[in-house]
Chain A
Amino acid sequence: MDRAELIARLTPIIATYAQDKDAVASINENTDFIKDLKINSANLVDVVLDVEEEFDIEIDNVSMERMLNVSAAMEIIEDKLKSK
Chain B
Amino acid sequence: MDNRVVVTGLGVIAPNGVGLTAFTDAIKNGTSGIKHDSQLEQLQFSCQIAGKPELSDDFIAQYFTALELRNFNSTGILYGVIAGMDAWKDAGLTITEGDEPDWDSGTIFGTGTSGIDKFRESIYKVDDLQLRKLGSTVVVQTMASGISAYLGGKLGFGNQTTTNSSACITGTESILMAYERIKTGQATKMLAGSTSDSGPYIWAGFDAMKVCTYKHNPSPEQGSRPMSASASGFVPGSGAGAMVLESLDSALKRGATIYGEILGGHINSGGQRGTGTMTAPNSIAVQRCIKGALQNAGIKASQVDAINGHLTATSKDATEIQNWSIALNRKGSDFPYINSLKSTIGHCLSAAGSIECIASILQLHHDFIFPNINCEDLNPEINEMIDFNRIPQQLLNTNVNIVAKASFGFGDVNACIILKKYAK
Whether A49 sits at the interface, judged by CB under 8 Å, is: yes
Whether B300 sits at the interface, judged by CB under 8 Å, is: no
Inter-chain CA distance A33–B393, complex, in Å, is: 61
Q: Does the CB pair A45–B135 fall under 8 Å? A: yes
Contacts of B253 in A (CB 8 A): none
Whether B136 sits at the interface, judged by CB under 8 Å, is: yes
Contacts of A43 in B (CB 8 A): 67, 136
Whether B133 sits at the interface, judged by CB under 8 Å, is: yes
Whether A46 sits at the interface, judged by CB under 8 Å, is: yes
Contacts of A42 in B (CB 8 A): 136
Inter-chain CA distance A68–B132, complex, in Å, is: 18
Q: Does the CB pair A16–B67 fall under 8 Å? A: yes
CB contacts between A and B, total, < 8 Å: 16
Q: Quick one: closest B residue to A19, CB to CB?
A: B67
Q: Quick one: closest B residue to A58, CB to CB?
A: B132
Q: Does the CB pair B67–A49 fall under 8 Å? A: no
Main SS at interface, chain B:
helix
Contacts of B424 in A (CB 8 A): none
Q: Does the CB pair B133–A16 fall under 8 Å? A: no
Q: Does the CB pair B133–A17 fall under 8 Å? A: no
Q: Does the CB pair A45–B70 fall under 8 Å? A: no
How many interface residues does chain B have, given as a range?
under 10
Chain A contact residue count (CB 8 A cutoff): 8
Instruction: Render B133-161 as a binary contact track against A, CB cut-off 8 A, 1 for contact.
Output: 10110000000000000000000000000
Q: Quick one: closest B residue to A44, CB to CB?
A: B136
Inter-chain CA distance A16–B133, complex, in Å, is: 17
Query: Which of B66, B132, B135, B136 has the most CB atoms of chain A within a 10 A radius of its CB?
Result: B136
Shortest C-beta distance, B98 to chain A (Å), equals 15
Q: Does the CB pair A45–B136 fall under 8 Å? A: yes
Instruction: Render B57-77 as a binary contact track against A, CB cut-off 8 A, 1 for contact.
Output: 000000000110010000000
Q: Quick one: closest A residue to B133, CB to CB?
A: A49
Contacts of A44 in B (CB 8 A): 136
Contacts of B66 in A (CB 8 A): 16
Inter-chain CA distance A56–B135, complex, in Å, is: 17
Shortest C-beta distance, B97 to chain A (Å), equals 15
Shortest C-beta distance, A78 to chain B (Å), equals 21
Contacts of A46 in B (CB 8 A): 70, 135-136
Q: Does the CB pair A49–B135 fall under 8 Å? A: yes
Shortest C-beta distance, A38 to chain B (Å), equals 12
Inter-chain CA distance A46–B70, complex, in Å, is: 10
Q: Does the CB pair A16–B136 fall under 8 Å? A: no
Inter-chain CA distance A42–B133, complex, in Å, is: 14
Inter-chain CA distance A21–B136, complex, in Å, is: 21
Shortest C-beta distance, A16 to chain B (Å), equals 6
B95-135, CB < 8 A from A: 132-133, 135
Inter-chain CA distance A42–B68, complex, in Å, is: 13
Shortest C-beta distance, A57 to chain B (Å), equals 13
Q: Quick one: closest B residue to A43, CB to CB?
A: B136
Q: Quick one: closest A residue to B71, CB to CB?
A: A46
Shortest C-beta distance, A7 to chain B (Å), equals 21
Inter-chain CA distance A42–B137, complex, in Å, is: 8
Pairs across A and B, CB under 8 Å, 16 listed: A16-B66, A16-B67, A16-B70, A17-B67, A42-B136, A43-B67, A43-B136, A44-B136, A45-B135, A45-B136, A46-B70, A46-B135, A46-B136, A49-B132, A49-B133, A49-B135
- Which 3 pairs between the two chains have the least Cβ-Cβ distance? A42-B136, A45-B136, A46-B136
* Known A46-B70, A49-B132; further 8 A-B contacts with Cβ < 8 A: A16-B67, A16-B70, A17-B67, A42-B136, A43-B136, A44-B136, A45-B136, A49-B133
